[in-house]
Amino acid sequence: MKIAVIADIHGNALALAAVLARLAAWKPDRILQLGDACNGPLDPAGTAVLLRALDAGHVRGNGDRMVGVDSEPVVSASARFARARLSAADRAWLAGWPAAVAEDDWLACHGSPQSDTEYLLESVTAAGAAPRPAAEVAAILGPTPARLILCGHTHLPRAVRLPDGRLVVNPGSVGLPAYDDDQPFPHRMETGSPQARYAVLERTAAGWDVALESVDYDWQRAAKQAEANGWPAWARALRTGFV
């Protein structure tokens, strides 16, 4: 069993196309997409075209809710950008994705199994963001029986083996290698390089093997898209991997 995992595309169709080209050569049995697909000031419509043509399982992220659900009380600027450029059918498709997908011995979600806005592998304090201790990760997961938990949302590629043997994997972000936020405290999430990120996993007799991967693409072109649309901060993140 070979699973490819992508997340946090954020409307970056150029990065997504590069990742999908790499995956075509790897030939996974399943592709899982963990949400926040189109909310971003780049090419949400082009991203939707690529995803609709893909045979994949999809998980709804908080960004997909803001793009797709008309009744969402808070909608970010990047989600408003996407809403204005996606068809009603595309928005309904995003809204209809499940909050989590479970099959065999794995579970896929966007943030945590409980919330699409919760960081699973990182915690945020007044000092900023830091890796969450394994015991805290296990406490958030609770009795979740899956041996493999796939999550996104933080854009940071990480694989953590918990003391009970469960493996938690964040593939990183396909389309946005850095961002900052002010909730619950100001913090930055930065990978420090502009590559598109994804993960590949293979089930073996001993359990799941994971590789965190990256691929070059034309991030200068993506940054110019952001600049042309009036988002210079995104352009810097796309070029450098830093906020």
Q: What is the pLDDT of residues 31-44, one digit of tens each?
A: 999 999 999 999 99
- Is pLDDT of 220 > 90? yes
How many folded domains does the chain comprise?
Answer: 1
Q: What residues does 30 pair with on adjacent strands?
A: 3
Task: Residue 191: give the domain boundaries.
Answer: 2-240
- Is pLDDT of 118 > 90? yes
Find the CATH number of the domain harbouring 129. 3.60.21.10
- Is pLDDT of 104 > 90? no
End-to-end CA distance of the chain, in Å?
A: 37
Model confidence, pTM: 0.97
Q: If phi over 0 gives left and psi between -120 and 50 gives alpha, with beta otherwise, what is residue 231?
A: beta
Q: What is the pLDDT of residues 165-206, one digit of tens each?
A: 999 999 999 999 999 999 999 999 999 999 999 999 999 998
Please state the rounded mean pLDDT for residues 109-136: 97
Query: Which of 196, 199, 198 lies closest to 215, judged by CA?
Result: 196
User: What is the spatial distance between Cα 163 and Cα 182, in angstroms, rounded to a whole number?
Assistant: 31
Q: What is the residue-wise DSSP string for 11-22?
A: T-HHHHHHHHHH
The C-alpha R_g of the chain, in whole angstroms, comes to 17
